[in-house]
Amino acid sequence: AEITAKYGVHATQINTWKKQALEIMPEAFSSKRKRSEEEQQNLVDELYKQIGRLTVERDWLKKTLGYPLEKKRTWIGSEQSLLSIRRQCELLGVNRSIWYYQPVGLDEYNLLLMRILDEQYTKTPFYGVRRMTTYLRRLGHEVNPKRVRRLLRTMGLEAVYPKPKLSQPNPDHKIFPYLLRGLIIDRCNQVWSTDITYIRLERGFVYLMAIIDWYSRYVLNWALSTTLEADFCIEALSETLAQAQCEIFNTDQGSQFTTRRFTDPLLDKGVKVSMDGRGRALDMW
C-alpha cells in the first residue's frame, strides 16, 4: 500500500513485477558466477601460456648467450625455435637486419685496389691512409680516404709506427734489456738477430721467421708458418743452436720471442738475450 500510494502504481502490477523478479533472480546470479569462472579460467590459461613462452625463451637464451655475433646469427631463425625472428633478435640484443642482411662480395675494381695497396704496404709498411690515398691518386685512381681505410681494414693492414700500449705483455714472459746500443760488432757469431715478416702469395700469405748473423748478414736459418704461433720460431732456434751459438741474441718483444720456451734454450747456453724497446722496430738497424 505504501509503494502504491507513493508511486501511484496499482498493487496488482507490483505483485506481477515481484513474481517476475523472483523467477529470474537465481538465473541472473548464476550467469554472473558462470562468467566469473570463465574469466578466471581464461586468466589461468593465459598465465600458463606466458610461463610456457618464458620457459622456451630461457632455454633458447642458454644456448645462444656468450657466443660471437656470427654464431648468434646462426641460431636466429632456427626451425626448431618456437620464437619469432623479431623476438629472437630482441632476446639476443641484436638488430633484426643481421638476419636478413646478405654480404656482397668485392667487385673487380676493389680487388685491384687491394692488390695495389698490399704491394705498396710490403714496400712501405709505414704508409697510413693519407699517404696510401695519395699514392693511388698518383696512379690515376680517384679514391677518397674513406675507401682506402675500408680496404686496408678488410685486409688487416695498419701502418707500422710506435704507439702507446700497443700490446700488454704476458706476465709470465720476461722482457730483457736492449744490449746493442753503442756496441761495436766486428766478428761473426757475436750477435744474432731474428724477426718475423709475411710473404704474399697468389692466394693468401705465409709468415717467415729468419735468424741472421749481424756481422756477415748471413741467414743462419729460417722457417715458414701459416700462423703466428711460437712453435715454428722455437723449432728454427733449436736447429740453429744445434750447429753453433752466439754471444748476444737480439729480438723484438713479440710474444713468440718473450716466451720462456724461446729464451730458456739461449740462457742455458750462456747466450745473452737482448730485446728492442717497445714500438721501436728500427732499434736493431
pLDDT of 221 higher than 90: yes
The predicted pLDDT at position 249 comes to 96
For residue 175, is it within any domain? no
Position 180 in a domain: no
Task: Say whether both 112 and 95 belong to one domain.
Answer: no
Per-residue pLDDT, averaged over 135-160, amounts to 90
> Does the predicted model carry a pTM greater than 0.85?
no
Residue 4 within a domain: no
Same domain, 75 and 144: no
- Better-scored residue on pLDDT, 13 or 194: 194
The better pLDDT of the pair 168, 69 is held by 69
pLDDT tens by residue, 39-96? 777 777 787 787 777 776 666 565 556 667 667 777 677 555 667 778 777 777 777 7
114 and 80 together in one domain: no
**Predicted local confidence at residue 284, as pLDDT:** 47
Question: In this predicted model, which residue has the larger pLDDT, 121 or 203?
Answer: 121
What does the pLDDT read at residue 26?
A: 64
Which residues constitute the domain of residue 93? Answer: 11-100
For residue 268, is pLDDT > 70?
A: yes
Do 15 and 96 reside in the same domain of the chain?
A: yes
Tell me, yes or no, whether 135 and 93 share the same domain.
Answer: no
Mean pLDDT of 186-213: 86
Asked if 197 and 256 sit in the same domain, the reply is yes
Single-letter amino acid, residue 67? Y
Q: Are residues 89 and 39 in the same domain?
A: yes
On whether both 95 and 132 belong to a single domain, the answer is no
What pLDDT is recorded for position 89? 79
What mean pLDDT comes out for the span 199-220? 86
Lowest mean pLDDT, pick from 103-112, 164-173, 174-183, 223-232: 164-173
* Residue 198: per-residue pLDDT: 78
Q: Please, which pLDDT band fits residue 169 given cuts at 50, 70 and 90?
A: low
Evaluate whether residue 132 is within a structural domain: yes
Q: How confident is the model at residue 285 (pLDDT cuts 50, 70, 90)?
A: very low
- At residue 174, the pLDDT reads 83
pLDDT higher than threshold 50 for residue 154: yes
Taking residues 96-115, report their average pLDDT.
Answer: 78
182: left (phi > 0), else alpha (psi -120 to 50), else beta?
left
**Same domain membership, residue 117 and residue 88:** no
When the pLDDT of each residue in the chain is averaged and rounded to a whole number, the result is 79
Cell of 88: 629472437
Cell 570463465 found at: 38
Total domains present in the chain? 3
For residue 284, the Cα-to-chain-centroid distance in whole angstroms is 34
In a domain, 223, yes or no: yes
The reply to whether 81 and 142 lie within a common domain is no
If asked whether residues 141 and 94 sit together in one domain, one would say no
* Exposure b/e, 218-231, CB count within 10 A at least 16 = b: eebbebebeeeebe
175: cell is 722482457
Whether the per-residue pLDDT at 267 is higher than 90: the answer is yes
Does residue 282 register a pLDDT over 50? no
With respect to residue 174, please indicate whether it lies within any of the assigned structural domains.
no
Sheet holding 272-275, edge to edge: 219-225, 205-213, 191-200, 248-251, 272-275
Give yes or no for residue 31 having a pLDDT over 60: no
Decide if 252 is inside a domain.
Answer: yes
168 falls within a domain: no
Asked if 15 and 1 touch (Cβ cutoff 8 Å), the reply is no
95 and 121 inside one domain: no
pLDDT of residue 167: 43
More confident residue, 131 or 43: 131
